[in-house]
Amino acid sequence: MLGNFSRVLSSMFVVFALICGSSVASASDMELLGAGATFPQPLYSKMFDAYNQQYKVKINYQGIGSGGGINQLIKKTVDFGGTDAFMTSKEVQSAGAPVLHIPTCLGAVVVTYNLPGNPKLNFTPDAVAGIFLGTITRWNDPKIASANPGVKLPDMPVSAVHRADGSGTTYIFSEYLTKVSKEWKEKIGAGKSLNWPAGQIGQKGNPGVAGYVKQTPGAVGYVELLYAIQNKMPYGSVRNKAGKFIEPTLKSVSAAANVKIPDDTNVSLTDTEAATGYPISGFTWLIFYKEQKYGGKAKDRAEALAKLLVWIVGDGQRYVEPLQYAPLSKEAAAKANKLVRSMTYDGVPLVK
């Protein structure tokens, strides 16, 4: 009606409609969206790649930190979240409906650093706390040196780096320090985001911390074990409750995980009693709503999620060990499986 102009306009709408149309056409292949913890992200990206090849279901997982994963689940913008910290009662409350946590694997939070020659170091709990409290400012501090006879520590400033985003890795790490250091408990405490001492660097995600430490001489940070291994970064052994310096490995994490697991799988593994257990380890969980019929979610989507979760705690566990995470024990896997089976859609169980 308005000549050229309306023709241009309407052809743009045609383009728009075409895009929408193609979208609808492609919507038939299932895609699930998850977000959260970066701690297990290397494992998830491997698992979801394998899962896509086998079942042709795309699972898009973005590592935005455990805090982000929990929040986006509460806002219902994702199908599932990933977190290494159990949701707090306040978070569960704001979710408004029961949320299930299923453990997917175990990992260690390691203290990784960048020093000339990259020596293997031992850390006492006090030394770890001191470094991140900002009371240990140089690498040749007696608190570090006393646990490392025979290692020549450089007279370099310590540049401690923590997570800038709300992080389950931070939670595991700070929960451990709260148990072993009175000063830490009083000044900082445990949580996903903390009130860190002034003057410290913050970085986003496990990759961000690892990337910064790797690039910065004198830097020290805490990341999941695999990030240190993949990047050939040194990481310290930490003295456990039994008084032994334990190197974080698949085995020492499994040793720490040898505990009774409650039905909701909410368990802390830090500062383990086990003599061969690494003291800073923990479960990582996937979180999702128990009742999947919400916000207009289609049933096939909920079914796809249930199927994926069953696979993760079952068949998918074969991808865990090659990536240096510790797999779920039989007991944990059974409990996780039971939790997945309690998922419902409109009151009807999704897994038969």
Using CB under 8 A as the binding rule, the residues of this chain from 19 to 78 that contact another protein are: 19-20, 22-24, 26-27, 31, 33, 35, 41-42, 45-46, 48-49, 52, 58, 60-62, 64-65, 67-72, 74-78
C-alpha of 151 from chain center: 32
Task: Give 61's strand partners.
Answer: 34
Please give the Cα distance from 280 to 211 (Å, whole number).
21
Token representation of residue 195: 């009130």
Interface map 235-274 toward another protein (x if CB under 8 A): ----------------------------------------
Quick one: which of 119, 154, 207, 314 contacts another protein (CB under 8 A)? 207
**Minimal distance in Å, beta carbon 331 to another protein?**
29
Quick one: which of 92, 115, 145, 201 contacts another protein (CB under 8 A)? 201
DSSP string, 96-150: -S-EEEEEEEEEEEEEEE--TT----EE-HHHHHHHHHT---BTT-HHHHTT-TT
Single out the residue of 192, 237, 238, 235 nearest to residue 214, CA to CA.
Answer: 235
How many residues form the binding site for another protein (CB under 8 A)? 92
Task: Decide: is 135 part of the binding site for another protein (CB under 8 A).
Answer: no
Quick one: which of 149, 182, 195, 347 contacts another protein (CB under 8 A)? 195
Q: Which is nearer to another protein, 313 or 323 (CB)?
A: 323
Single out the residue of 335, 184, 166, 318 nearest to residue 267, CA to CA.
Answer: 335
Select the span of 6-14, 252-260, 269-277, 339-347 touching another protein (CB under 8 A): 6-14
Single out the residue of 28, 40, 2, 32 nearest to residue 326, CA to CA.
Answer: 40
Could you tell me how many helices (H) and strands (E) the chain has, helices first?
13, 13
Interface map 156-185 toward another protein (x if CB under 8 A): -x-x----xxx-------------------
Contact 224, 41 (CB under 8 A): no
Q: Which is nearer to another protein, 248 or 277 (CB)?
A: 248
Token representation of residue 153: 């520590």
Please give the Cα distance from 26 to 3 (Å, whole number).
34
Q: Which is nearer to another protein, 27 or 330 (CB)?
A: 27
Q: For residue 23, what are the contacts with CB-CB under 8 A and spacing of at least 6?
A: none
**Minimal distance in Å, beta carbon 90 to another protein?**
9
Select the span of 147-155, 194-202, 278-286, 325-333 touching another protein (CB under 8 A): 194-202
Task: Decide: is 11 part of the binding site for another protein (CB under 8 A).
Answer: yes
Contact 195, 148 (CB under 8 A): no
Q: List binders of another protein among 73-112 (CB under 8 A).
A: 74-78, 91, 94
Please give the Cα distance from 86 to 171 (Å, whole number).
9
Task: Decide: is 134 part of the binding site for another protein (CB under 8 A).
Answer: no
Please give the Cα distance from 117 to 153 (Å, whole number).
10
**Minimal distance in Å, beta carbon 66 to another protein?**
8
Please give the Cα distance from 284 to 44 (Å, whole number).
11
Quick one: which of 214, 241, 244, 341 contacts another protein (CB under 8 A)? 214
Select the span of 178-186, 196-204, 235-243, 248-256 touching another protein (CB under 8 A): 196-204
Quick one: which of 210, 250, 304, 332 contacts another protein (CB under 8 A)? 210
